[in-house]
Amino acid sequence: MIPFSILDLSPIVEGNSATQALRNTLNLAQHAEQLGYNRYWLAEHHNMPGVASAATSVVIGYVAGGTKTIRVGSGGVMLPNHSPLVIAEQFGTLESLYPGRIDLGLGRAPGSDQVTARALRRDATGPDTFPQDVVELQHYFQPDDSNQFVQAIPGTGLNVPIWILGSSLFGAQLAAMLGLPYAFASHFAPAELLRALQVYRTQFKPSEHLKEPYAMVAVNVIAADTDEEAQRLFTSMQQLFLYIRRGKARQMQPPVDNLEELWPDNELASIEPMLRCSAIGSVETVQRGLASFISQTKADELIISTPVYDHQARKYSLTLTAQVRDSLAAQQAEPVVV
């Protein structure tokens, strides 16, 4: 069965602090490790009241230091916000401290609004130079070359797997051209999912890093004992997107019993396409949803986003999702009776 991984934004819930959010992130990563999840990725976002993972490489070090075997990485670092050398040094340091466990997923978006992007002190051409910046970053991880005056120390000669992240055909084309693994952000931007996967797989060029295309696909999963309880937990995520659409991002809100009573129908309808790639419900419901999603996408790996207000309910959701993973694996292993 394909591996299941975790995507975490270290959510700051209403009435709580970034300190508690980061402690919850480590606790969740330790729980995911015990359950056999493959990797645990943190995402870079800025000026977001409900996200504590802005200093992504710092949080990765915190999580990697508190776990033993699970891979830890970025899902992703938004390269237009940084110089490639700085990222090479940061992830070279992480790889030196936690060898064989660090992933570097790179995104082209700023992970913020344009005003915040300017406050990050990168010029407006950042996204336009993304392909060149990725190649420059790759060079910093190459073995020591006396002809290369600037070197990343730590970083030079280290095997830090680079992933291209995207939600459009651009990232798919770049990952295919460079022969790198590709992760699609279908958990919030599913419109181009199938086209992007097709482009990536058909245009892929083998490289020293990867011989065949490898696509990881993101999906929202909230599992609970009943469909009704899972749908109730899901309202926290729906509210998150609704407030962002209004330009009023805030800390994660507690779930509500009836979202339709609080929000206009047109606003609820506006976020439905964004959250289409979601499996919400009991174990049986989530299993049906993920089996269909895997069949449709032919994903090599799933990365699960589980934005739930209550930390214990979030951990329980990951426990139930691991049961789904194991059940799907058992079904795949069953011999075919002719």
Burial class (CB in 10 A: 0-12, 13-18, 19+), 57: buried
Torsion on CA atoms 260, 266, 268, 272, rounded to nearest 10: 140
Which residue from 228, 226, 231, 219 is spatially nearest to 291, judged by alpha carbons?
A: 219
Asked if 80 and 98 touch (Cβ cutoff 8 Å), the reply is no
The confidence band for 124, taking pLDDT boundaries of 50, 70 and 90, is low
Q: Taking the model in full, what pTM does it have?
A: 0.94
Question: Can you say how many angstroms the Cα of residue 206 is from the centroid of all Cα atoms in its chain?
Answer: 24
> What pLDDT is attached to residue 333?
74
| Banded pLDDT at 128 (limits 50, 70, 90) | confident
pLDDT tops 90 at residue 134: yes
At 338 the pLDDT is 54
Cβ partners under 8 Å of residue 265, min gap 6:
none
pLDDT per residue as tens digits for the range 199-214: 999 999 999 999 999 9
Beta strands in the chain (DSSP E): 4-8, 39-42, 71-78, 102-107, 162-166, 182-184, 215-223, 278-281, 301-305
pLDDT at 219: 98
In the predicted model, is pLDDT for residue 1 greater than 90? no
Quick one: average pLDDT of 40-64?
96
pLDDT score of 119 more than 90: no
Mean pLDDT of 313-332: 96
In this structure, of 109-118, 201-210, 291-300, 310-319, the range with the lowest mean pLDDT score is 109-118
Q: What is the Cα 205 distance to its own chain's centre?
A: 24
**What's the number of CA atoms in the CB half-sphere (13 Å) around residue 214?**
17
Q: Are 110 and 168 in contact (CB under 8 A)?
A: no
pLDDT at position 97 over 80:
yes
State the chain's mean pLDDT as an integer.
93
Over pLDDT 90: what percentage of the chain? Answer: 84
Q: Residue 100, SS3?
A: coil
189: pLDDT strictly greater than 90: yes
